Amino acid sequence: MAPGYGISSIGQYGSDPYFMYALNSYNPNFMGSQQGAQTVQNANQYAIPQTDAASAVTNTVNTGIDPTFKGYEKDNDGISTGKVVGYGLLVAGSALACLKAYKKGDGTGIKKMLNGFKQYGQKLLGTSAKEAAEKAAGKADDAAAKISNIIKNGGKNLQEYTIQKDGMSFVIKNGKPVKIITQDKKVIDKAEDVANWVLNNPTVSDEVRNMTLAGTRLPKGVSLSYTREIADGKNLYRLTVENGQVVKASSQDKAGKWVEVTKDQFDGFIKNHAKQVKEAETLQKTFTGKKVQILKEGKLVEQTGNVQMNVRNRQLVSAKFNGKDLTTKELEALQKDFQKEISNFGHEAGSKYGLKDFEYVYRQKGGQTVRFDKYRTIKNVTSVTNKDITNASAMDNFWQKNESIKNELDNIISTGNVSSGFRVGNMTYKSDAGVVYNISGDKINSIKLDKEITLGGKTFKAGKVIDGKYLGEWRKTAEHNNDFQAVLEMLK
């Protein structure tokens, strides 16, 4: 990713377009995740998000198991922390001021943030949005509290877990950091260097050249990025939007030179220029010959004509039917009837919205990002390399340079309260019976068997990781299910 595109830390939920995905991001050191089906799941999570926050609600595959035993069935309908917060963001994607309310990471901050969403959602969509936001707030708060509880009460049985911040991961074992995983990002943006990279990476360059951008959705892994110049009185700003949110801002100085807003000033800029931000994030598109419900004598009647929609983060902001502004009731009907079309806003070719300055971002597994224009010409590449720090002296050197991070980590380890800007990755918890549980958020994803066992006619050796229907088979035995329930208690 080019400089300036990743301007917000994971903790600044209001301006970070990848917050949703960070909740389910890849943990390079998760002990049980490299085996069996879990390998596939974590490999997918390692990819930087390829759609916006709202898409995460429908695209995330959740293999977690909820407290209710479901036998053979794999629990794919449970709500994880990531899904809950994503739904809250979907309901009130425009409430930037509410997003800034998240200040504390002790299991109460998320709920405070979503309480703001409730008020906004009620004004925008009515009672249903209010109820949805309330439900999302409660679920998110519960999930956050559960994460804290297992750190507080896990003791030595909590074998290992990961705390993440700003692309760094800190592996905690027996109450102490044992590994630091940093990310080294290399940006290739000079024309000559990009040309050389393209020659040396024919597979990726061929993928980009063969992409179809004119369909109803962009190819998998590709998102739209565009820049708009928005005026605020005499001032002019350039705002770059990705995944429906402004991620970069620049202003003109007295000499007319564009100066990028710095990371520490960005949140304040977003708050103080909410009108311009909303304008930049809103996309417009006209549909011809569509049947739309229009009020006639107090009743909604279907009429055929042209409808112009203004959409921001999958929410209909305003619309015109045959040149006439729609009323609130008509907008509600339009939002419902054209849900599919509205969900595609921002996920199609930039030319469909009359955009002039736009490009596409292709995110690949491992964190590599390739940016290309409408002619499929690659403009820059960002590669990400993970570096493990395990040597004692090297770790001490890191802590000396990052004392504030060390202090926050010590606080998380001792209290279980996750500070703002930090998040918990996957965990491994060994029960008193010797079974190792792989936990992500508030879900038990799988277990590592303590002994050989036959399940559903298939034999599994000790140390094998199982999930889904085989985990259901394993739980059919009262002894095993009691052990499972005891671990669940740690998540309450």
Q: Report the candidate in 305, 304, 328, 302 with the shortest Cα–Cα distance to residue 316.
A: 328
The residues pairing with 47 across neighbouring beta strands, listed in sequence order, are: none
Region of poorest pLDDT, from 60-64, 240-244, 329-333: 60-64
Q: Which amino acid is at 428?
A: T
User: Is pLDDT of 146 > 70?
Assistant: no
Angle formed by the axes of helices 392-401 and 403-415, nearest 10°: 100
Q: Report the candidate in 167, 163, 176 with the shortest Cα–Cα distance to residue 395.
A: 176
The residues pairing with 172 across neighbouring beta strands, listed in sequence order, are: 161, 177
Per residue in 118-137, pLDDT (tens digit) is: 444 444 444 444 455 455 55
Rounded-to-integer distance, Cα 197 and Cα 191, Å = 10
DSSP state at residue 90 = H
> 319-348 in b/e burial notation, b at 16+ Cβ within 10 A?
bbbeeeebeeebbbbbbeebeebbbbbbbb
Cβ neighbourhood burial of 411 (10 Å; 0-12, 13-18, 19+): middle
418-421 LR contacts (CB < 8 Å, sep 24+) = 418/105, 418/106, 418/107, 418/144, 418/147, 418/148, 418/151, 418/163, 419/105, 420/11, 420/102, 420/103, 420/104, 420/105, 420/109, 421/9, 421/10, 421/11, 421/12, 421/105, 421/165, 421/166
What is the structure's pLDDT at 307?
A: 96
**Mean pLDDT taken over the chain:** 75
Kindly state the greatest CA–CA separation across the chain.
78
Rounded-to-integer distance, Cα 292 and Cα 301, Å = 8
What is the structure's pLDDT at 11?
A: 36
pLDDT class for 36, splitting at 50, 70, 90? very low
Per residue in 45-98, pLDDT (tens digit) is: 333 333 333 333 333 333 344 333 333 333 333 333 333 333 333 333 333 333
Residue pair 300/293 in contact (Cβ under 8 Å)? The answer is: yes
Q: Report the candidate in 420, 431, 427, 440 with the shortest Cα–Cα distance to residue 485.
A: 431
Q: Please tell me the pTM assigned to this model.
A: 0.52
